[in-house]
Structure 1
Amino acid sequence: MKSPGGMLLTGIELDRSSPIPLYRQLYLQVRKQILSGRLPGGTRLPSTRTLCKELGLSRITLLNAFDELTAEGFLAPRTGAGTYVGREWEGRNAAADTPRKPPRLSSLGQSVLSLRSEHFGGMSYASWAPECPTSFLPSHPAYDAFPLPVWRRLMNRHLRQPTKAMLGYGELKGLLRLREALVEYVFDARGIECSVDQVVIVSGAQQAFNILAMLLLDGQDGVWMEDPGHIAARIAFQAQGARLVPLRIDDQGLDVQQGLRDCPDARLAFTTPSRQHPLGTTMSYARRQELIEWAGRGHGWIVEDDCDSEFRYVGRSQPALFAMDQWQKVIYVGTFSKVLYPSLRLGYVILPEALVEPFCAIRAVMDRSPSTLHQATTADFMAEGHFLGHIRRMRALYQARQESLVEQLRRHLDGFLEVNPVVAGLHLIGWLDETVDDAALALGLARQQIYTYALGDYCLKRYLPPGLLIGFAGTPAEQAGEKVEALARALEGLGHHL
């Protein structure tokens, strides 16, 4: 509604206790009303005398705000006629009311959006917080046991006297000291012999999968995928237009013979041989040799995600596929997300020599090296012995937490959920009756702040019974009982008889 003296600015509210100057508050609020269409183009504003009286402002404060709005074209003073909203803002109301068209995306953009909606629609991290009542999310380490005092001291060492190298863009392959520490570590822990030039630091395993997909795959190239298998890797390959070939997991790991029958000319095979994700199977030596022979005698590549290899509770790990590969066809992907913490966003790729230069070329187009400060801190953490000590402590801690959780699950949920301890990793499988919909169950539990994942989310083809992935790393042994009791109450609330 307009008055003879101009539009009433009744929506203006000034906070005199705010550190923002009053003229700036007035400027921002008038500007917002113009942009939102509440003050249409051509609207006459009240006189400065009227506004000063109504808003309790001095004339100089008001003029400072109006001068800035005039300079930016929001207001247009007319000699002898008053001050008006600039004509270029006419029609803002009509534009605001026009239905928004969906953005036009590329084929890749549409594909990725569709894949993300399909795979992550049921469970959202937005509703989950580390302090939530009950979380059995897999792949989450024990945040409460991370050695923050040591980490803080190492990081402060670099922050106190930052160098140009520390504050700069960083090396394309990653910090040399960190790559040197990794070469030493993977030789000792995984039997891998490589040079520092074959190691590239990336922002986690997910970035590695995306770069490798861009590097090695064309549209409709066949990719052998473990089924059930790694969701994030699957989506990276699908986004490049690859044709996924789901291969079953038996007691020896990936079924290579099925791959040879279904797609012998596949361009790439993705596998988690140390601890199959999510089932936990360890690939046998014979099956490893079979897979390497397939890649070596053809044109295929093997991407080895060494998932959870640090946390083995029974026996020793077999050598990595990379360490057994005489053909230089295996690409090794590792990450610090679980052994340290996920938001560190540091991972690494060990490449066959022929792939180093093309991998780095694509990497340079996508982004630069991760934070040099975090790389330097991680390098110190490894070089000074903290890394191996941390792994040993976490193994003992996770084994104790798993034992306690398994005991409580069997005590309270026996007959509804079948659980067995695992020899490695951060989660176990809770097997359900064939009649249960695991995806619907996981979603129902999440609504009651009981967080886990459905095994069905990881499957391309269903041939296994339904199940839930139950992470144990984040549940202290002394809290296992109350967490499982909360799970039992939630299940009963969903109508399940225990």
Structure 2
Amino acid sequence: MRSDYSWIYPSQTDPAGDRRKPVAYRRLYHGIRTAILGGRLHPGERLPASRDLAKTLGISRNTVVTSFDLLTSEGYLETRVGAGSFVASTLPDRDMAAIHQTNDKDSPINSDARPLRLSQSVQRMLEYQRRFPRFRVARPFNPATPDLDGFPFDLWARLLRRAWRSPDIDLTIPDDPLGFAPLRGEIAKWLRQSRGVNCDADQVMIVSGAQQALDLIARALVDPGDIIATEDPGYEGIRGVLAASGADVQAIPVDDDGLCVDRLSETASPARIVVTTPSRNYPLGTTLSLARRLAMLHWADAHDAWIVEDDYDSEYRYDGPPLSSLQGLDRQNRVIYVGTFSRVMFPGIRLGYLVLPRSLIPAFRGMRGFADGVPAPTAQAALAAFFAEGHFGSHVRKMRLRYADRRVHLQNMVAQQASSRLSIMPSDGGLHFCARLVAGHDDMHLQEKMVEAGLDCRALSSYFHDKSQKNRPNLPQGLVLGFAGWDKNTLTESFGELIAIMDRNS
């Protein structure tokens, strides 16, 4: 037996990461365990008697006994009657050394370590990972930021408290995979009135956002190798979710009349799903024309395909009332309507919805039971009250006026101060607009410089999937300018910084 065990009682902080000094028995426990895992104490090796070890380390015998008991219960030590405590004989030296090396943050990387194996699903998803930097606080001109100062958070807090003060059984034990029934009823009523959607409450499914909605759709309707058609340009978060299903995601060009429906016939086989934003392409803002809406519905019916209508911010149309939905024109039940509250309310609410054709309800209801259940019921109950008491409609009307004012303010600055640099592209709503670069600037280079200056200004060309010279000989160079989340003074100051950056990089 060894004569000196002072090294077994470390003075450093708890390996679990607690920066406070650990209690004495925990220090001894970690010291012995680390020595066993690292191979310094070998299987079958006898430890000193508790009284002798306590004397050597200058600690109480109770501390040693408590540590030994814990190590024995976890299988690191074993006790032999009349002989004392021993390192467990069932722990081979080489296996313990390997465990220690794996968990030692300071050890060099083993050149023979196995490569990390990720699923093909995740690899496909990560190919579409966006490269935009993440700012801790939203910065001008982020295109997806609403005005959080304008949301009635005090009212929202009262509704949350009320929902939880005397909770309904559906809140404490939610058992409907479609979501909280009163909220589904309010959403259906709102969509019928404001968007011309043909639906009842039993067709509405509550989800945690538009991307979860797309994930559920892909799981239910797509097999590996199926084709999904998306808009080009478009939001790459959509492509990433859909690619994870194993589908072949095909980008279909968008022009001034929206998605080019005639190009759907150019895919190797008919697409299983077409994902479209008919009210407003993201980011261009173009609207799918009536002729193309009808053509798309006819195409889907003829090819037994589904249309996913992503209606991400249709509440904010400034040049007239909100457009009617594509789903409202559908007579063959081929359209799945997707909406979210992250822009009209606040991103952290994490609530959205699907409006399903009736034929799909049983499948989605059953599938949801194996996925994630439903989003937080308390927030659903508060949102149902927010609708029922008229707050949702009031908030939309108030913010529509505020955003329209900010939009005009930013457009006027572009026209008055930067007409030789930027040309505003037509758009009738949303939280942003696009402006082409007139003088042939590289928009990706400008984006990099603006990010360095603390402006979250996006390059228009980054939203295009097909950047080849063959198909896109004149890839649009421009900026995507969000205006909704900042008051006019902030927009004025930030736009001045934008112009200065363009001057320095012209």
Out of 85, 93, 113, the residue aligned to residue 100 of structure 1 is: 113
* TM-fit CA distance, 1:362: 2.2
SS in 1 for 2:71: helix
Q: Secondary structure at the match of 1:303?
A: strand
1:8 aligns with 2:14: no
Aligned counterparts of 1:114 and 1:262: Cα–Cα separation in 2: 20
Give the structure 1 partner of residue 368 of structure 2. Answer: 363
Partner of 1:146: 151
In structure 2, the partner of 1:477 is 488
- What's the counterpart of residue 229 of structure 1? 234
Letter paired with 1:120: Q
1:115 correspondence with 2:118: no
8 Å CA contact 1:223–1:244 kept in 2: the answer is yes
**2:73 aligned with 1:71, yes or no?**
yes
What is the Cα deviation at residue 152 of structure 1?
0.4
Match of 1:216 among 217, 221, 233: 221
Q: Distance in 1 between matches of 2:287 and 2:195?
A: 14
| Deviation string, structure 1 residues 135-194 (Cα, Å, up to 9, x no partner) | 422222222222111100000012222343212133111111011101110011001221
In the other structure, the counterpart of 1:466 is 477
- What SS is found at the alignment partner of 1:249? strand
Provide the rounded CA distance (Å) in 2 between the counterparts of 1:415 and 1:54.
83
The answer to whether the 8 A contact 1:402-1:472 is kept is yes
CA distance in 2, matches of 1:166, 1:28: 44
Name the stretch that deviates more: 82-91 or 247-256: 82-91
> What one-letter code is carried by the residue in structure 2 that aligns with 1:269?
V
Moved more, 225-234 or 74-83: 74-83
TM-score of the two chains, using structure 2 as the length reference:
0.85
Deviation at 1:392, TM superposition (A): 1.1
Amino acid at match of 1:282: T
Cross-structure match for 2:61? 59
CA distance in 1, matches of 2:287, 2:132: 28
Q: Structure 1 length normalisation: TM-score?
A: 0.86
Q: Say whether the 8 Å CA contact 1:217–1:267 is kept in structure 2.
A: yes
What is the SS of the residue equivalent to 2:370?
helix
- Which range moved further: 378-387 or 412-421? 412-421
Q: Determine helix, strand or coil for the equivalent of 2:387.
A: helix
Gaps of 5+ in 1: none
**Tell me, what secondary structure is at the counterpart of 1:473?**
coil
Preserved CA contact (<8 Å) 1:6 1:44: no
For residue 120 of structure 1, give the secondary structure of its aligned residue in structure 2: coil
Q: 1:120 to 1:408 in 2, by over 3 A?
A: farther
Instruction: Give the C-alpha shift of residue 343 in structure 1.
Output: 2.3
Q: Per-residue CA shift, 1:440-474, capped at 9, x if unaligned? A: 54345434433233333322213331233222222
Mean CA deviation greater in 435-444 or 423-432: 435-444
Q: Distance in 2 between matches of 1:442 and 1:471?
A: 14
Q: Which residue of 2 aligns with 1:259?
A: 264
- Relative to 1, partners in 2 of residues 1:35 and 1:52: Cα closer, same or farther, differing over 3 Å? closer
8 A Cα contact 1:437 1:466, kept in partner: yes
Q: Which residue of 2 aligns with 1:275?
A: 280
Secondary structure of the corresponding residue to residue 128 of structure 2: helix
Structure 2 partner of 1:344? 349
Q: Which moved more, 1:411-420 or 1:292-301?
A: 411-420
Query: Does the 8 Å CA contact 1:336/1:345 hold for their aligned counterparts?
Result: yes
Q: Percent identity?
A: 35
5+ residue gaps, structure 2, are 103-109
Aligned residue for 2:318? 313
2:11 is paired with a residue whose SS is coil
- Identify the match of residue 183 of structure 1 among 188, 197, 207: 188
Q: Is the CA contact (8 Å cut-off) linking 2:124 and 2:243 kept in structure 1?
A: no
Give the residue type in structure 2 aligned to 1:102. P
Residue in 1 that maps onto 2:255? 250
Q: Which moved more, 1:252-261 or 1:186-195?
A: 252-261
Task: Please report how far the alpha carbon of residue 315 of structure 1 lies from its aligned counterpart in structure 2 after TM superposition.
Answer: 0.7
> Relative to 1, partners in 2 of residues 1:90 and 1:264: Cα closer, same or farther, differing over 3 Å?
closer
Q: Where does 1:194-205 land on structure 2 (aligned, <5 Å)?
A: 194-205=199-210
CA pair 79-355 structure 1, distance change in 2 beyond 3 A: closer
Summarize the alignment of residues 280-429 of structure 1 with structure 2, pairs less than 5 Å apart: 280-409=285-414, 415-419=420-424, 422-429=427-434
Measure how far apart 1:255 and its partner are: 1.1
Measured in 2, the distance between the counterparts of 1:50 and 1:439 equals 70
The whole-number CA distance in structure 2 between the counterparts of 1:122 and 1:362 is 32
Deviation at 1:10, TM superposition (A): 6.3
2: CA distance, partners of 1:173 / 1:25:
48
